[in-house]
Amino acid sequence: MKAYAGKRVLMLLENNPYSQDIRVKREARALVNAGYAVTVICPSVATGKRANSSSDDVTVYAFPAPPGGKGLIGYAWEYGFSLVMMFLLSLVVWARTGFDIVHAHNPPDMLVFIGAFYKIFGKRFVFDHHDLSPEMFALRYTGWKQRLLLGVLIWLEKLSCRVADRVIATNQSYKQMEMERSGISSDRITIVRNGPAETMQPVAPDPALRQRARTILGYVGIMGPQDGIDYLLRALHHLVYTLNETDVYCVIVGKGDFTEELQELARQLKVQDHVWFTGWIPYQDLLRYISTADICLDPDPSNPFNDRCTMIKMMEYMALGKPIVAFDLPEHRVTAGEAALYAQGNDELDFARKIHTLIYDPERRQAMAETGRNRIDIELAWPYQIPKLLSAYQTLSKDQNAYMAELSPSDKIGPD
């Protein structure tokens, strides 16, 4: 039987393996460096396999990853299976080493059920709010399916925020939503923004890509329904056929549920010769390709989800010293400031015109690149977020110490 330790953290991560989730890895490393013991439960890298390992002094319990969900039944299977596996592994961790804090990374928001279970035994619960699940999934459906999902997901989000001892928001827009929709007070929320990886530094351009056109455009990220690659392709069509800017080539790094549909759209728009879908590629290749780009693009359209999101790709472009063209979204301006040129919301022709403007203004491109890089160096880099994360945990410790002070000495010895 071990005495109460106070600094053992169990992280729950469903939508990525630990090795592939930059934010979770950074938070785990920051906590380890501050003296916490961190265990992560997550899906394995390969579907159908499980493995336990240690990385960066973080213990990882991986369960067999189910196939990614598509459609309501597919998502229900994926998340239901994952929830059961994560709960069973949490019991294993509790028996072997114990933990004092359950730190759940959404999506999905149903991880609150595991946190709520362990709160019965005096554990603290942290809800790390990565995505607005109701708005994100509502983009995929219409009609009764959308109404059903919105109702369920808003309820789960409210439950997660209200059960949590501490909510971690990624920006001010998320914090405001948590206060308004879930009714929790400001002092229960800590903003811990994302930031580009320390390795996100410019490298030598890729010679083969550089020769493809006079102007290289770059995009990196997921290709889902909310990510706006269809807007990018239609803007590229305007750039080539409306503005007669034919000496351009756009490299799109990433993959997602709609990759095949987007490739077909490129053919329909007759821009397939001006675009390259690379799929997922090694990190060093990503750095080379984006370092080659003259202008980087963030085509996320304005909608209830994107208007509140901080896009990590924006900061990655800025870290690599690239000028950006993006739609005029509130959090885009908070992140990039003068490092981006903003097109009118969801106006693909105006997006093309902004690209066209920057093609013929190299001095402005250079000034924007320097502005972006400086914002990363003095404000947005991940090290500036670490004190905020640790402050949130210190608040948990103070609350726990107050709780423990009310117990009798015999009550302070727990089952773990």
Residues of the chain with pLDDT under 70: 1-5, 46-56, 68-70, 398-416
Supply the pLDDT for residue 403: 41
Phi, psi angles (nearest 5°) of residue 354: -65, -40
Its pTM surpasses 0.85:
no
* Residues near 79 by beta carbon (within 8 Å), at least 6 away in sequence: 14, 69, 108, 110
Residues 6+ apart with CB under 8 A from 207: none
Is the Cβ–Cβ distance between 319 and 200 less than 8 Å?
yes
Helix crossing, 362-375 with 348-359: angle to 10°? 100
Nearest to 224 by CA among 197, 267, 176, 260: 260
With CA atoms as reference, report the closest residue to 102 among 38, 54, 156, 14: 38
**Which residue's structure tokens are 């690599």?**
320
User: Exposure pattern of 325-342 as b/e (b: 16+ CB <10 Å)?
Assistant: bbbbbebbeebbeebbbb
Domains of the chain: residue spans and CATH? 8-193+385-412 (3.40.50.2000), 207-380 (3.40.50.2000)
pLDDT at res. 408: 43
304-357 residue pLDDT tens = 999 999 999 999 999 999 999 999 999 999 999 999 999 998 999 999 999 999
- What does the block give as tokens for 71? 């459609």
Q: How far apart are CA 244 and CA 261, in angstroms?
A: 26
Give the tokens for residue 246: 């034919």
